[in-house]
Amino acid sequence: MRALTWQKSSYCPEGNSCIHIAATLDRRIHLTESADPTGAILTTTRAAFATLLATLKRQPAPDGRDEPTAVYIRSETTVVTTDRRKWNAFVLGVQAGEFDHFTVSRYDR
């Protein structure tokens, strides 16, 4: 498998760990958190990721409160752990359309 090219939200502070997204040619989307001590990588379909993006876009923008609570992003077999500040940065990026290109394959155009 080729090395993944990861993208994080532009709302993530410079140099800080954040939620990262990557895609592979087999139409899979990968999500990880660079500071997750388990090193977990959640893998999903483009359709499921598109559903997540659409859901997050309908939510109110994060209010800037960065509670020190953990956020767990789960699939049936994988759990990626992050915190509220990093999740909020990801959601702001989603709402700005920064990850929309992951829902369309270059071969679908």
pLDDT (tens digit per residue) in 1-12: 468 889 999 998
In the chain, what are the domain boundaries? 7-103
pLDDT recorded at residue 66: 66
HEC-encoded secondary structure of 12-68 = CCCCCCCEEEEECCCCEEEEEECCCCCCCEEEEEHHHHHHHHHHHHHCCCCCCCCCC
Token code pair at residue 75: 């699939």
Say whether 89 sits in a helix, a strand or coil: helix
Partners of 33 in the β-ladder: 19
Entry pTM: 0.86
Look at 18 and 17; give whichever has higher pLDDT: 18
Contact status, residue 92 vs residue 62, Cβ threshold 8 Å: yes
